[in-house]
Amino acid sequence: MRTRAGERGGLIVRLAGLVFLAIVALALFFSRFVLMRMAGEWLVVSDALQPSNAIIVLSGDDLNGDRAARAAQLYKAGWAPVVVASGSEIRPYLSEADLETRDLESDGVPAKSIVPLRQRALYTLEESRDLLQLCRSEHWKKVIVVTSNFHTRRARYIFQHVFPPSIEVRVTPASDVDFRPGSWWETREGMKTFARETAALCVAFWELHTSSVHAKMQQQTGDVGPESGP
């Protein structure tokens, strides 16, 4: 009798567990659109703007040139006197910076106010380091970074880790033809963009966290490396 009672108790526990899992599955199913919208909107950040030394357009603009259009809007609103067109090389004779410069001029930014930055960065992390060199050479202390809406959280995370506290970075989103935060799952391009950006964000977290931990370990052990000595 004790064995049968234990079996009944175990069966009840298993049934309760299955019912709980079924309830959770149903809850996730019916709230899936809310969760996906929250995930898409989480990728987008928008810092409060302030008068700055320069507006920076990151490489990788969409076919509509939405990043350049947003930067031009900010320039004409008087947020900064200079716009940096940062773009990687496409051919030896052409770079995304050239295309961004053309878009900015078409959107009303004078050529004299555009600073083309032709670079070979493959990732945002590399691009941010090139931009840091430019900001230091120009003695800029405040910059506004313009990038696509889905890219803003990753861009801000990277710039906050690469740029020193002496250079204040504000990130602002531009609309993107392939990504709508509240309904990204409705299009193939939206799903691809969300998947790629989520993966890229995880990589950025891992790379910068690992490098930060390594730097702290070097400081604690006094091992500054062969290139960091006097």
pLDDT in tens, 35-45: 999 999 999 99
CA distance 221 to 103: 50
- The mean per-residue pLDDT over the stretch 49-78 comes to 97
- Does residue 227 have a pLDDT over 90? no
Q: Where are the alpha helices (DSSP H) in the chain?
A: 2-30, 32-42, 66-76, 96-106, 124-138, 152-162, 188-221
What tokens were used for 60? Answer: 């990788």
Q: How many whole angstroms separate alpha carbon 164 and alpha carbon 166?
A: 5
Distance of CA 98 to the CA centre of its chain: 22
Mean pLDDT of all residues in 76-99: 95
The number of angstroms, rounded, from the C-alpha of 96 to the middle of its chain's C-alpha atoms is 18
User: CA 72, CA 61: separation in Å to the nearest integer?
Assistant: 14
Distance from C-alpha of 28 to C-alpha of 82, rounded to nearest angstrom: 47
pLDDT (tens digit per residue) in 184-214: 999 999 999 999 999 999 999 999 987 765 5
The pLDDT of residue 14 is 75
**Winning range, highest mean pLDDT, from 19-28, 88-97, 109-118:** 109-118
What residues have CB less than 8 Å from 118, skipping those under 6 apart? 87, 88, 89, 95, 97, 98
Residues 76-103 as b/e (b if ≥16 CB within 10 A, e otherwise) read eeebbebbbbbbbbeeeeebbbbbbbeb
**Stretch 77-103: mean pLDDT:** 95
3-state secondary structure of 163: coil
What is the mean predicted confidence (pLDDT) over 90-102? 94
| pLDDT of res. 218 | 54
pLDDT of residue 3: 53
Please give the mean pLDDT across all residues of the chain.
88
On the question of pLDDT at 224 being above 50, the answer is: no
Q: Which tens digits make up the pLDDT trace of 136-171?
A: 999 999 999 999 999 999 999 999 999 999 999 999
Interatomic CA distance for residues 75 and 143, integer angstroms: 12
Percent of the chain with pLDDT over 70: 82
Instruction: Report DSSP state, residue 108.
Output: T
- Break the chain into its structural domains and give their ranges: 43-179
List the one residue out of 83, 31, 29 whose CA is nearest residue 61: 83
CB 162 within 8 A of CB 124: no
Q: How far apart are CA 224 and CA 105, in angstroms?
A: 46
Gap between the Cα atoms of 108 and 83, Å rounded: 12
Thinking of the domain 43-179, which architecture would CATH place it in?
3-Layer(aba) Sandwich (3.40)
Task: Report residue 61 as tokens.
Answer: 């603009």
